[in-house]
Structures are given as structure tokens and as C-alpha cells.
């Protein structure tokens, strides 16, 4: 069990909860069951020109219970009622639902649900309180507006802090508990100039507690990005050498994460097949890991929804697909072990934790000297991709996405008025021409700048 000390009382006592479950399941003649529970207290603030736009605090509780009946069929129910009566009714409901269970999809306990957990040394930070959050955000908004006379407002902003706890218990003796704190700040500025279109950009910062958020660097980044887009020009439609920022490349990979998802493979909605392991899917100099335990992952957890320990998993090694993300159910069908990427639900889901992109030790690219800081050749720098929910067809591999970025030519940097980048993820991964050495930590993972040649850019007509 992965306990973390704090001077605050536990939201959920996992031992008491386990004992209650044993009592209620015995009354209902249930021999096999498991439970995933979460509890959180969150506070957040938004402001508008110095005035509070929204201030809210909330406590949320959620329990998901699975029950196997005498025929081996499974039923599931969820509740936020943690009283004795609420918990008993949830277990009773799961038992009733098991009579309608799908005989073709019967997950089991993870075989790793009682294995030792990795040690996560994450601090527990006491909250600042909603009044302090408001003061910090109000001052940050004023400072950002004061950075340039064209910045008129910060229409999208927010600061939040929270403390949360996760529990997994099963009737086979598994007992997992973890507690964590988290905080975030985002500032998205809007600049306006006479006769010109408004321009916007922003920045995000994460920390274990609001007191540790680097507010000044967030203001500076939001300001610099917004100002850099004031002198915009249209771009000609054509094919360009592209440099993806770490944020943009990670967002693109995340949109096509079904390539690595065993559940998606089995459901027939992935670009990969069951026999795709050890096939080349990118240039041989690319490595991709899913490392939920990375020291910079604020949301790290020691175990997944089925109690499987989290670990660093290699997905692409020297260009080859080497692993899929698995739950207990998918791992059983592939003849492997669960990887710690399951989410407990009516249908057990599978998803990535924290992508880490790097270049392999066998780095062999003819244009390996590319560097976005001193590159003089003409190229497009993609800072941020938008409309990922609408512009990506994950099961087909295609994408067509608006982006914020710049055209760089002989060192001159010009913001692009409006444009979309389009292509196929398989072609993109095979057309990487350079991977910079330095991995940049972002809110969503780690990646260096990635260079891709011959990508299609469509400018505004």
C-alpha cells in the first residue's frame, strides 16, 4: 500500500471501507467483487478585469463496484453515496446487473493487483485557500495586461488547487491507496490593434501546490507568445519543412494514441493490428515511452483502475512498435501481462499516462543538425495545434488541423495569419528529418522539437 502522510484527515479510510464491503457482500452471498473509489476537494477561480468571474469549491466522491455472480457474469454500478445504505444499495445493484452481464466480455482481477507498488515521492501541499487564489490570479491578470499596450484582456484564465485520493480493493486481498495534491494556472491573453485581427496565445503551469506555481514565467510566456503573433501575414498554400514544438507534437501523438491501445486494436478502431508488434512505424531514430512515474508528471499514480502497478513502458523503440497499452482483459487476449493503463468502468478502458519522446542512441538522420534556435533555412514553426477533437480521424490516420505558428525565413520570424496543416500520421512519422537533443517538459509530457519535411500547409484564401 502506498501511503503518504499529511496533517489532514483521510477522505476515505480504505481499511474501514474494505471491512464494510466484506460485511455487505457476505449478506448478499457475493464471493467475488472489487471496488475503485476516488475523493477530491477542489477550489478554482476565474477573473475578468480584476473582478471575480467564478469562484467555486467542491468535494466529489465516486465509487465504482463490480460484482461477479455464481455464473461468472459481471455487473457494475457507480455511486457517490458513501453512507452505509448507499454502499449497500450499490452492491445490491451490481449483483442485480450481473444477471444481464455479457458472457463474451468477462474481465477478471489483474494478476498484478497485489504486487508491490513503485515508490512515489510526491509532496502533499496544503491549500492556499480560495481568497488567496483570487488575489494571485487578479494580480497575474493585471501584470499580463500591463506587458504590452496591445494586450487588452485575458479572456481565458484560471487558477485551481485540489487534493485527491484513490483506492482500489478486491475480494482477493488487494488494497491500494494513494493521495496527492495538484494545482494549475492558465493565462490566455487577447491582443488588439486598430485595423488588425485580434491575436491570442497563452501558457499553462502545473505544480503540486498553488504556492509552488511559477506565476511570473507563466505571465512572461503568455505575453511573449501573444506579442509574437501581432505582426501576422498570410502564408502561401504548399508543402513546407515543419518544426513541431514539443506541445504540438505531443498533442498530435496523443490524438493517435489508439495506435498503441490494445483495446482499440481489439475493437477494430486502431491503425495497428494484433500482429503489428515489432513492425517499423517511424524513422529508426525515434523512441516513445509511456512513463506515468516520470518525476515531472504532477498527476502520477502508483496504480491504475484495476490495481496494476504503474511502470515505464516502451511503445516505440528505434522506430519499431514494441508494446501496446493493456488492461487485464486485453493482456489476457494478447498473452501478456497488464501494463497499468486500465480505467475501471462498465467496459474497462485503456489509455496512456505520460508520453516521453526521445531520440534513440542510433540517431542517424542526414539533417540531424537542425535546431529551431539558429536554423536559417525557410520553415514553418507550429507552436500549437487546435480543433484536435474535430480535425483528427484516428482510425484512418489522417489529420487536418488549424495551428498557431510562424514562418521562419533567414532568421526573420513572421506570425502566420491563419492556416491548417494536413497529413497522415504514418507518413509523418516516416518523414521525420531531425529530432533535437533537448527534451522539453510540458504539461502533457516530454518531447524535443521534431522536424518533418514535405507537410502540406493550406493558407487562408
Q: What pLDDT score was predicted for residue 365?
A: 61
- Of the chain, the percentage scoring pLDDT greater than 70 comes to 96
Q: For the segment 43-57, what is each residue's pLDDT rounded down to a tens digit?
A: 999 999 999 999 999
Q: For the segment 19-34, what is each residue's pLDDT rounded down to a tens digit?
A: 999 999 999 999 999 9
Instruction: Yes or no: say if 417 and 460 are a contact pair by the CB < 8 Å rule.
Output: yes
Least confident range from 164-173, 274-283, 315-324, 342-351: namely 342-351
Report how far apart, in Å, the C-alpha atoms of 240 and of each of 1, 87, 407, 408, 440 are. Answer: 52, 59, 10, 11, 24
Nearest to 446 by CA among 366, 357, 377: 357
Q: What pLDDT score was predicted for residue 376?
A: 81
Q: For the segment 342-400, what is each residue's pLDDT rounded down to a tens digit?
A: 999 878 999 999 999 999 887 666 556 788 888 888 999 999 999 999 999 999 999 99
Q: What pLDDT score was predicted for residue 24?
A: 95
Mean pLDDT over 397-414 rounds to 94
pLDDT > 90? residue 157 = yes
Q: What pLDDT score was predicted for residue 29?
A: 95
Q: For the segment 261-292, what is each residue's pLDDT rounded down to a tens digit?
A: 999 999 999 999 999 999 999 999 999 999 99
Q: What pLDDT score was predicted for residue 361?
A: 80
CA distance 391 to 444: 20
Instruction: Yes or no: say if 210 and 161 are a contact pair by the CB < 8 Å rule.
Output: yes
pLDDT > 80? residue 308 = yes
| HEC readout, the chain | CCCCCCCCCCCCCHHHHHHHHHHHHHHCCCCEEEEEEEEEEEEEEEEECCEEEEEEEEEEEEEEEEEECCCCCEEEEEECCCCHHHHHHHHHHHHHHHCCCCCCCCCCCCCCCCCCCCCCCCCCCCCCCHHHHHHHHHHHHHHHHCCCCCEEEEEEEEEEEEEEEEEEEECCCCEEEEEEEEEEEEEEEEECCCCCCCEEEEEEEEECCHHHCCHHHHHHHHHHHHHHCCCEECCCCEEEEEEECHHHHHHHHHHCHHHHEHHHHHHCCCCCCCCCCCCECCCCCEEEEEECCCCCCCCCCCECCCCCECCEEEEEECCEECCCECCHHHHHHHCCCCCCCEECCCCCEECCCCEEEEECCCCCCCCCCCCCCCCCCCEEEEEEECCHHHHEECCCCEEEEEEEEEEEECCEEEEECCEEEEEEHHHHHHCEEEECCCCEEECCEEECCEEEEEEEEEECC
Q: Strands 445-447, 355-359: parallel, antiparallel or unpaired by DSSP?
A: parallel
Mean pLDDT over 80-89 rounds to 91
pLDDT > 50? residue 224 = yes
Q: What pLDDT score was predicted for residue 3?
A: 38
Report how far apart, in Å, the C-alpha atoms of 454 and of each of 141, 339, 366, 379 are. Answer: 40, 36, 15, 10
pLDDT > 70? residue 451 = yes
Mean pLDDT over 297-306 rounds to 96
pLDDT-derived band at 410, boundaries 50, 70, 90: confident
Mean pLDDT over 232-256 rounds to 97
Cα 121 → chain centroid = 20
Q: For the segment 245-266, what is each residue's pLDDT rounded down to a tens digit?
A: 999 999 999 999 999 999 999 9
Q: What pLDDT score was predicted for residue 212?
A: 97
Mean pLDDT over 423-431 rounds to 96
Domains and CATH numbers, the chain: 14-223 (3.30.2290.10), 230-252+366-459 (no CATH), 258-359 (no CATH)
pLDDT-derived band at 411, boundaries 50, 70, 90: confident
Q: What pLDDT score was predicted for residue 8?
A: 40
Nearest to 125 by CA among 60, 11, 210: 210
CA distance 207 to 406: 30
pLDDT > 50? residue 1 = no
pLDDT > 90? residue 426 = yes
Mean pLDDT over 414-443 rounds to 95
Q: What pLDDT score was predicted for residue 371?
A: 86
pLDDT > 70? residue 327 = yes
pTM of the model: 0.92
Q: Kindly report the number of other CB atoms within 10 A of residue 434's CB atom.
A: 25
pLDDT > 70? residue 112 = yes
The cell numbers describing 81, all together, are: 453515496
pLDDT-derived band at 5, boundaries 50, 70, 90: very low
Q: For the segment 176-197, what is each residue's pLDDT rounded down to a tens digit?
A: 999 999 999 999 999 999 999 9
CA distance 138 to 456: 42
Q: For the segment 126-141, what is each residue's pLDDT rounded down to a tens digit?
A: 999 999 999 999 999 9
Q: What pLDDT score was predicted for residue 364?
A: 66
Amino acid at each position: 500500500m502506498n501511503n503518504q502522510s499529511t496533517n489532514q484527515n483521510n477522505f476515505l479510510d480504505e481499511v474501514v471501507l474494505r471491512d464494510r464491503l466484506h460485511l455487505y457482500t457476505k449478506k448478499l452471498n457475493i464471493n467475488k467483487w472489487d471496488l475503485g473509489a476516488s475523493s477530491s476537494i477542489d477550489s478554482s477561480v476565474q477573473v475578468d478585469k480584476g473582478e471575480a468571474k467564478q469562484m467555486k469549491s467542491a468535494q466529489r466522491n465516486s465509487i465504482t463496484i463490480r460484482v461477479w455472480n455464481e455464473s461468472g457474469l459481471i455487473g457494475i454500478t457507480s455511486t457517490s453515496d458513501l453512507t452505509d445504505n448507499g454502499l449497500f444499495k450499490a452492491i445490491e445493484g451490481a449483483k442485480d446487473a450481473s444477471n444481464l452481464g455479457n458472457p463474451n466480455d468477462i474481465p477478471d482481477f489483474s494478476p498484478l493487483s497485489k504486487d508491490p507498488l513503485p515508490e512515489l515521492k510526491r509532496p502533499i501541499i496544503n491549500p492556499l485557500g480560495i481568497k488567496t487564489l483570487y488575489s494571485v490570479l487578479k494580480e497575474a491578470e493585471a501584470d499580463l495586461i500591463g506587458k504590452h499596450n496591445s494586450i487588452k484582456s485575458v479572456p481565458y484564465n484560471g487558477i485551481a488547487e485540489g487534493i485527491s485520493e484513490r483506492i482500489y480493493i478486491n475480494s482477493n486481498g488487494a488494497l491500494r491507496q494513494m493521495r496527492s495534491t495538484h494545482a494549475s494556472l492558465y493565462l490566455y491573453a487577447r491582443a488588439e490593434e486598430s485595423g488588425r485581427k485580434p491575436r491570442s496565445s497563452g501558457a499553462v503551469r502545473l505544480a503540486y501546490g498553488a504556492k509552488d506555481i511559477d506565476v511570473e514565467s507563466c505571465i512572461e510566456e503568455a505575453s511573449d507568445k501573444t506579442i509574437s503573433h501581432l505582426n501576422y501575414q498570410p502564408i502561401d498554400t504548399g508543402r513546407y519543412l515543419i518544426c513541431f514544438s514539443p506541445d504540438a507534437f505531443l498533442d498530435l501523438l496523443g490524438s493517435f494514441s489508439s495506435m498503441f491501445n490494445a483495446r482499440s486494436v481489439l475493437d477494430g478502431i486502431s491503425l495497428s493490428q494484433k500482429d503489428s508488434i515489432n513492425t517499423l512505424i517511424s524513422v529508426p531514430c525515434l523512441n516513445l515511452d509511456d512513463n506515468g512515474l516520470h518525476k515531472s508528471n504532477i498527476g502520477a499514480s502508483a496504480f491504475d483502475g484495476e490495481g496494476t502497478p504503474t511502470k515505464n513502458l516502451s511503445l516505440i523503440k528505434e522506430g519499431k512498435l514494441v508494446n501496446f497499452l493493456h488492461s487485464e482483459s486485453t493482456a489476457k487476449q494478447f498473452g501478456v501481462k497488464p501494463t497499468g493503463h486500465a480505467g475501471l468502468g462498465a467496459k474497462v478502458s485503456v489509455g496512456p499516462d505520460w508520453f516521453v519522446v526521445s531520440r534513440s542512441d542510433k540517431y542517424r538522420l542526414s539533417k540531424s543538425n537542425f535546431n529551431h534556435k539558429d536554423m536559417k533555412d525557410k520553415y514553418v514553426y507550429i507552436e500549437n495545434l487546435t480543433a484536435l477533437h474535430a480535425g483528427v480521424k484516428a482510425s484512418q490516420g489522417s489529420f487536418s488541423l488549424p495551428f498557431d505558428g510562424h514562418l521562419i525565413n533567414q532568421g526573420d520570424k513572421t506570425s502566420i495569419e491563419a492556416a491548417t496543416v494536413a497529413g497522415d500520421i504514418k507518413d509523418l512519422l516516416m518523414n521525420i528529418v531531425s529530432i533535437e537533443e533537448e527534451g522539453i517538459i510540458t504539461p502533457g509530457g516530454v518531447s524535443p522539437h521534431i522536424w518533418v519535411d514535405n507537410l502540406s500547409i493550406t493558407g487562408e484564401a
